[in-house]
Amino acid sequence: MIIHLKNSVADAEVEKIAQELDAFVVKKPEHHVLITPSALQEVPSRYESITEESFAFSSDIQLASADYFSETREIDINGVKIGGTNNNTMVIAGPCSVESEEQITQSAELMVEQGIKTLRAGCYKPRTSPYSFQGMGIEGLKLLDKMRSKYGVNIITEVRDTTHVDEVIEYADIVQIGAKAMYDQGILRTCGKSNKPILLKRGFGTTLQEFVQAAEFILSGGNDNVILCERGIRTFETKTRFTLDLCGVAYLKEYTNLPIILDPSHAMGYRYGVPDLARACTAMGIEGLLIEVHPDPSVAKSDAAQQLDHDMFRDLLKTLRPIAEAVGHKIV
């Protein structure tokens, strides 16, 4: 249950009630927000006089629920706004990994040329094999920082584990929590204490309930800026890398208040399918698209098979803009 306590209630009293109800507390200027387990269905009568409003839920999807408020949350990433009434589809593009200054500079220049404001690239890569390229680490973050200063792009990069979560929060404009890291409660709780926008990817074996509950870990820590990312789940099908769950996206749009970004690159796993999927995703009227693009995919150190080259990306954008427009959105 979510309980809005009047802001006249003293902090010490709020803490005492939170302990009694086993609740998280998030302080807002208008009121104190208490989030209890969803099993609680009614405000205990002794707190009624200090309660402004309350909301009961049928599961632990609470802060993210469209029953709490139905409008998609607005997230402002240094002036680039998604959700709310903005109707923007934010393209996040760039290579899978930062590999060198030359490579990431070429990527940043492509974003500037195409009017795209959000550059992605991983520095801590969650590889399936310990023998594969693991990312440039802090040196990569410094290169991304340089790209932001030089080209004025926002930076999104991923956190792999808790050893570098603070570093990534410091350097990134949007912190990405990957499909494998999304169960790490150390990462989720640390991101909950920050106010940086968080892009939470769905694990490939994660139900929608588990996915949104992972988002609740961040939201209940006090960070309102959570964006969900569907990037494909594992099914019986092996011809494609994963299966992009567009039904799941429809569910999330209907039942949650979180902005949604779609990642056709990791779902498909092969570049040939990415442009068609990106167009299909855009037609769903979503808050964003994540596309992997590399100056020379044939030499990419991770996810080489799925990254578009620069010309493919240019061609794709030309077709995305009218599709976004047809569903009342704008590519940013």
d(CA 111, CA 293): 10
* 179: partner contacted, choices Mn ion, ligand PEP, none (Cβ within 5-8 A by kind): ligand PEP
Residue closest to ligand PEP when measured from CB atoms: 178
Q: How many residues bind ligand PEP (CB under 6 A)?
A: 8
178 binds, among Mn ion, ligand PEP, none (CB under 5 to 8 A by kind): ligand PEP
Distance, CA of 97 to CA of 16 (rounded, Å) = 47
Interaction between residue 96 and ligand PEP (CB under 6 A): yes
Which is nearer to Mn ion, 86 or 103 (by Cβ)? 103
Which pair of structure tokens corresponds to residue 212?
A: 């949104």
Residue closer to ligand PEP by CB (options 17, 229) is 229
Smallest separation (angstroms) from ligand PEP to the CB of 269: 10
Say how far apart CA 46 and CA 54 lie, in whole Å.
Answer: 14
The mark string for 183-202 relative to ligand PEP (x by CB under 6 A, - otherwise) is ------------------x-
CA nearest to 151, candidates 118, 174, 103, 123 = 118
Q: Walk across the sheet containing 24-27 and list its strands.
A: 24-27, 31-35, 2-6, 51-55
Closest to Mn ion by CB, 99 or 303: 303
Exposed, middle or buried by CB within 10 Å (0-12, 13-18, 19+), for 75?
Answer: buried
| Residue number with the smallest Cβ distance to Mn ion | 96
Binding Mn ion (rule: CB under 5 A), the pick from 21, 64, 303, 331 is 303
H helix intervals, 115-207: 138-151, 165-171, 185-193
Q: Least distance (Å) from ligand PEP to the CB of residue 281?
A: 15
Q: Which is nearer to Mn ion, 73 or 294 (CB)?
A: 294
Residue from 83, 135, 140, 178 binding ligand PEP (CB under 6 A): 178
Q: Interface with Mn ion includes 300 (CB under 5 A)?
A: no
Does position 96 bind Mn ion by CB under 5 A? yes
Contact of 67 with 44, CB cutoff 8 Å: no
For residue 317, the Cα-to-chain-centroid distance in whole angstroms is: 21
Q: From the centroid of its chain, how far is CA 291?
A: 14
As measured in angstroms, the least distance from the Cβ of 217 to ligand PEP is 17
Residue found under tokens 């009017």: 115
Among 94, 122, 259, 288, binds ligand PEP (CB under 6 A): 122
Q: How far is the CB of 198 from Mn ion (least distance, A)?
A: 18
DSSP letter, residue 44: -
**Number of residues binding to Mn ion, judged by CB under 5 A:** 2
Residue 294 found at the interface with ligand PEP (CB under 6 A)? no
Among 231, 241, 301, 329, binds ligand PEP (CB under 6 A): 231
What's the CA dihedral at 41, 47, 50, 56 to 10 degrees?
0
Q: Which stretch binds Mn ion (CB under 5 A): 16-24, 68-76, 295-303, 322-330?
A: 295-303
Nearest to 73 by CA among 185, 202, 223: 223
The answer to whether 181 contacts Mn ion (rule: CB under 5 A) is no
Contact 219, 187 (CB under 8 A): no
Task: Please report whether residue 266 would count as binding ligand PEP according to CB under 6 A.
Answer: yes
**Minimum distance of Mn ion from residue 306's CB (angstroms):** 7
180 closest CA partner among 129, 236, 225? 129
Q: Give the pairing type, strands 24-27 and 31-35.
A: antiparallel
Residues that bind ligand PEP (CB under 6 A): 96, 122, 126, 178-179, 201, 231, 266
Q: Which residues bind Mn ion (CB under 5 A)?
A: 96, 303
